[in-house]
Amino acid sequence: MSGKLYVSRSRSVAARKLGDEMLIMSGRDSTLFTLDEVATILWEAADGGNPLDQIVDEKICREFDVERGEAMQDAEALVRGLADHGILQISNEPFGAPDVPGLVER
């Protein structure tokens, strides 16, 4: 165990960016979710290869005026919530190839 948390977008979902939000349709039960701007950044960075703390450092803390500990706590709660809905996978080890090819932005 590395102690780090790796996150990867689930293969079963459908997703598209709408404005600054991400629309995600669960493959499990067709439930529709939306992610706000910050959650969308995390989602887009969830390629399975980079640990969550690195994503938070590089994508959140550099872009937003937020304290790192707080950002990390929020991010972890978010990814665990998304994992509960089956739209994100989490692991203490890096995933292989990304589950979903890079999302398309308008």
Q: Which is nearer to another protein, 18 or 77 (CB)?
A: 18
- Closest separation between CB of residue 1 and another protein, Å? 30
Cβ–Cβ under 8 Å, residues 105 and 46? no
Q: Which is nearer to another protein, 61 or 100 (CB)?
A: 100
Binding site for another protein (CB under 8 A): 11-19, 21, 23, 25, 27, 30, 32, 34, 100-101, 103-106
Q: Which is nearer to another protein, 5 or 100 (CB)?
A: 100
What does the alpha-carbon distance between residue 79 and residue 12 come to, in Å, rounded to a whole number? 16
